[in-house]
Amino acid sequence: MLKFYFHPSPNPMNVVLFLEETGLPHEVVPVDTRKGEQHAPAFRAINPNAKTPAIDDDGTIVFDSNAILLYLAEKTGQFLPPAQHRGELLSWLMFVATGIGPYSGQAVHFRHHAPDNNAYAVNRYTREIERHYRILDERLTAQSYLVGGDYSIVDMALWGWANAVPFMLGDDAWSQFPHVKAWHERVGARPAAQRSAAWRTRFSFKQEMDEEARQHMFPQNASLAA
């Protein structure tokens, strides 16, 4: 059976949405990143990058949420755009993987977790994530979903990060991106998305971002204290 290594952060939640949409049988393996479980040798054997999500599909290991979405969609034949949209599928998946995800993560880090008020970093990552969402907003002016006209894994890849827009950019952020907001509401109205949201409280994870959690989440910063 498929093993799914899970933490309720944006990237794993995108895979949760696929699992809820398809009902694909799976076993959940919680990984508490604020306790450092992602650095355990057993998990590093699954994902050397020490991040969630990852899957073990009867010996086939896949990590990175967009890679997992593409793997599972091709395996099941579900939520893939028509073949003529293959180029768009790959392009927009990579847009999320290389732009939305990293810039969102850095925007959250410097706004909420960095120890110093680094105005340059906050401005850079805030402006970049806003730029990326303006691209998405323009894309969604003429279509309901990102690729091929129908809901697909590209929408799933964006969903977890889009949930965090107010946390990244402020409570009024959606007013800047009305078409993304409408898309987000369409996806959020799906029963699978509503079931997925319940996963955030399905397991017990450490909530405190204390010094121990910071060491586990941001180990590269240890050199600053040396």
Domains in the chain, start-ordered, CATH in brackets?
Answer: 2-78+196-209 (3.40.30.10), 83-190 (1.20.1050.10)
- Upstream peptide bond of 10 is cis (omega within 30 degrees of 0): no
Q: Is the pLDDT of residue 214 over 90?
A: no
pLDDT band, very low/low/confident/very high, at 115 (cuts 50, 70, 90)? confident
Angle, helix 153-162 to helix 10-22, in steps of 10 degrees: 140
Q: Is the pLDDT of residue 193 over 70?
A: yes
Rounded to an integer, the average pLDDT of 171-197 is 97
Q: 20 with 196: CB under 8 angstroms?
A: yes
pLDDT band, very low/low/confident/very high, at 218 (cuts 50, 70, 90)? confident
In b/e form, how buried is each residue of 36-70, taking b as 16+ CB within 10 angstroms?
Answer: bbbeeeebeebbeebbbbbbbbeeeebbbbbebbb
Q: Strand pairing partners for 61?
A: 56
Q: 166 with 173: CB under 8 angstroms?
A: yes
Q: Is the pLDDT of residue 84 over 70?
A: yes
Q: How many CB atoms lie within 10 A of CB 165?
A: 20
pLDDT digits (tens, 9 = 90+) for 33-55: 999 999 999 999 999 999 999 99
* Residue 170 Rama label (left phi>0; alpha psi -120 to 50; beta): left
Measured in whole angstroms, the distance separating CA 175 from the mean position of its chain's CA atoms is: 22
For the chain, state the CA radius of gyration: 18
pLDDT band, very low/low/confident/very high, at 116 (cuts 50, 70, 90)? confident
Look at residue 222 in the predicted model and tell me its pLDDT.
57
Q: What are 159's two structure tokens?
A: 């969903």
CA geometry: angle 127, 217, 66, nearest 5 deg:
65
C-alpha dihedral over 166, 207, 216, 121, to 10 degrees?
20
- Separation CA 118–CA 144 (nearest Å): 37
Q: What global pTM score does this model have? A: 0.94
Percent of residues, the chain, with pLDDT higher than 70:
98
Q: What are 182's two structure tokens?
A: 């409408």
Mean pLDDT for all residues in the chain? 94
In the chain, beta strands by DSSP E: 2-6, 26-30, 54-57, 60-63
